[in-house]
Amino acid sequence: MRGGIWVTVQECIGLPNLPTSVPGIRKHLEEFVSGNEELTRKRTGSKAFEYHISALPPEVRAAVLKRHNQVETTSGLITLPERKVADPARTRLWKCWEQANAAQRDQASERVRSVVLMAELVESGLKVRAAADVAAGNLGISPNSLRRWYGKAQKHPRSDWGPALLDNRLIERTATASKADFDEQAWEFFKADYLRLEQPAMTKSYERLELAASKHSWTIPSFDTVRRRVEKEIPVEVRVLMREGEHALHRLYPAQKRSVANLRALEWINGDGYHHNVRVTWFNGEVLRPKTWFWQCVYSRKILGYRVDLSENTDSIRLSLLDVIRQYGKPKEATIDNTRAAANKTMTGGLPNRYRFKVKPDDIEGILPMLGFNVHWTSVVAGKGWGQAKPVERAFGVGGLGEYIDKSPLCAGAYTGPNPMQKPDYKPKPINVDTFMQAVAEGVAMFNAAVGRDTEICAGKLSFNEAFDASYRQQIIEFLPDEQLRMLMLSTEAVTVQRDGSFVLKAGGKIQQQENRYISEALRNMRTHKVVVRFDPQDLHSKVYCYTLDGEFICEAKCEAPVAFGDTQQAREHSRLRTQMVKATKKAAKAQVAMDMLELTELMGRSPEPEAPQRQVVRMFNQGNTVKKVQPVEDEAEFSDNEIAFQQYISKLASQQK
């Protein structure tokens, strides 16, 4: 008869890779022993059949052996040593030690030293009372207390004397805390009320528990007992999840610390938007809190570029990236949030892992992939962005850009505070947008120049500027031509060109009944009146770039600002430029036409005069009812003097042509 371990169907319930139902398990076991009848038998003293362990698959067999504290090896079955069960009394003592405070532990340690001295005296031959008197006299304590401590310590091994000599009240409280009467239904009522996302206070949940207990005759302990039971039986992770949500639970997990020592300056950038706590009067007169998009170097933490706008939008992201590439060169990697402004098709179209909007095979390639960026997205955890993945988030924290910009003296009186509880004790008065732009520029410069930065690269000594410059000077930087940057990064608008080569951009809007008017001499030669203009929306007073509708570059156009009505100096300058243009045009026109009108007339072909039509019937003119008698008329000279002179001039001119 085969020996070893035999199992029944009931004993196989819960094993891996087996069905959960009894009929299903029995069917599988029958398949395992099919053709090997010696692997199954009827269990002695039972109607059940049992199956030998060798017929089971390896995963199932390993689980059965684990139940029997055995493991299967190449050398056969090995029985593992049995785990020793901890002494409950000793476990309770050390639990008391864990719950004791520092003062209670120090007191127990002093008692241990006293008992050790007394024990050494007893071992030297003194009797217990005499040893207690001698030790107590040297230590300045009561002999009776020392004998009591000594007697308590003798019940435990020396390694447990510390928790055994704790204050009796602490030990008794720990031992009896779990014995307090608390109806299970009352406990479930309290948990259901307390563990809610509304985060009710524990004291108020206990008050509701008292009302429910009086109604249902529940037995409940004191508030402190309930509080200790919550801390003991409900893990802090569960409390955070049920009271604060999944996102807060993820915050409990320690953040991963990453090293940037393997990177270089400008190799990797990351960006995000910051909502300023300053009230600003915008260009259109609206009072608002602007939002700035910042691009930061991951290696050095330097702010490389930014754009201020009404909100976080594609234009501010695109144009700030244009500033970075123009000033420093093209980075290789970029980390951004998966937001509508940053992850739209204009910026990231064509990326397979965009996770924003529907990805289609015929999507136009976005700006970032077209420039060769490797785009990395921050994680979305529990429906919220995981901001700690971007270093730029720490630039928005305590002591960051908010301190340098929002609390700048230039913004004094306009600061709103991050929330209603931290507002200054005044009514904010908005500042104009030019002053705010100056505050942003100065704040970014101070942020980058501050020395002693505590980062991996700065090491508490360098500034962000110094860390960036030291690495940047050693790199081979890729710069893009202006033509490519204009095509990819600037905003576009189709406009109608006037006959004088001027046009108006609607993108500029109307501020104080004024518009942005642009002009270029090259546009006067345009065959079509429609052109595409590429421009920087935040620098409309600079030059813009004109293209044909099919993308061919035409020229640059400059902004022409209106002048005051009585400005004679500007009037003279305008008149001088107009006269200069007219003279230059006349000269060019004269150079174009080298033949005068007389030569043109002479060379033109003459159209022959048509002959009179043939007359078939002639009507005689009658004066009255009789034919008028013909009166003789003397002939005049054939040509006048003028006609003769003209004929002579023509003959002379013809002879000169020959």
Asked if residue 512 has pLDDT above 50, the reply is: no
Tell which of 252, 278, 303 closes a domain: 252
Total structural domains within the chain: 5
55-71 pLDDT, tens digit each: 888 888 888 888 887 88
Indicate the pTM of the whole model: 0.57
Closest to 517 in 3D by CA, of 498, 531, 532: 498
Please state, rounded to an integer, the average pLDDT across all residues of the chain.
81
Highest mean pLDDT among 159-168, 270-279, 596-605: 270-279
For the chain, give the percent of residues with pLDDT over 90.
Answer: 32
Q: Decide which of 86 and 541 is more confident.
A: 541
pLDDT in tens, 17-36: 888 888 899 898 888 888 88
| Among 280, 335, 344, 282, residue whose Cα is nearest residue 313 | 344
Using the Cα atoms of residue 61, residue 66, residue 67 and residue 72 in order, give the sign of their dihedral. positive
The pLDDT of residue 574 is 56
Q: How confident is the model at residue 6 (pLDDT cuts 50, 70, 90)?
A: confident
- Over residues 325-345, the pLDDT tens digits come to 999 999 999 988 776 666 666
Q: How confident is the model at residue 250 (pLDDT cuts 50, 70, 90)?
A: confident
Do 317 and 457 sit in the same domain of this protein?
A: yes
Same domain, 446 and 528: no
Confidence tier at 564 by pLDDT (50, 70, 90): very low
40 and 32 in contact (C-beta within 8 Å)? no
- Most distant CA pair in the chain, distance: 192
Q: Which of the residue ranges 117-121, 130-134, 513-517, 532-536 would you say has the lowest mean pLDDT?
A: 513-517
Q: Do 502 and 439 fall into the same domain?
A: no
Average pLDDT for 107-116: 92
The helix (H) or strand (E) run that includes residue 376 is strand 374-377
pLDDT at residue 577 greater than cutoff 80: no
CATH number where 512 lies: 2.30.30.130
Structure tokens at 330: 């093209």
| Per-residue pLDDT at 553 exceeds 80 | yes
- On whether both 354 and 440 belong to a single domain, the answer is yes
- Is the model's pLDDT at 314 over the cut of 60? yes
449 and 314 in a common domain: yes
Q: Are the CB atoms for 351 and 366 separated by under 8 Å? A: yes
Indicate if 27 and 58 belong to the same structural domain.
Answer: yes
Q: Tell me if 576 is assigned to some domain.
A: no
Are residue 384 and residue 430 in the same domain, yes or no?
yes
**Per-residue pLDDT at 203:** 95
How confident is the model at residue 373, as a pLDDT?
84
d(CA 156, CA 152): 8
Residue 224 sits in a domain whose CATH number is 1.10.10.60
Instruction: Say yes or no: 74 and 94 in one domain.
Output: no
Q: Would 259 be classed as within a structural domain? A: no
Distance CA 173, CA 168 (A): 8
Q: Is residue 655 part of a domain?
A: no
Boundary-marking domain end, from 159, 176, 193:
176
**DSSP per-residue string spanning 34-53:** TT-GGGEEEPTTSS-EEEEG
pLDDT at 93: 83
For residues 445 and 401, give the distance between their C-alpha atoms in angstroms, rounded to a whole number.
10
The verdict on 192 and 165 lying in the same domain is: no
Q: Which range among 309-318, 370-379, 444-453 has the greatest average pLDDT?
A: 444-453
Query: Is the pLDDT reported for residue 79 higher than 90?
Result: no
Q: What per-residue confidence (pLDDT) applies to 566?
A: 42
Same domain, yes or no: 213 and 357: no
Both 443 and 509 in one domain: the answer is no
Sheet holding 544-547, edge to edge: 491-496, 530-535, 544-547, 553-560, 517-519, 502-504
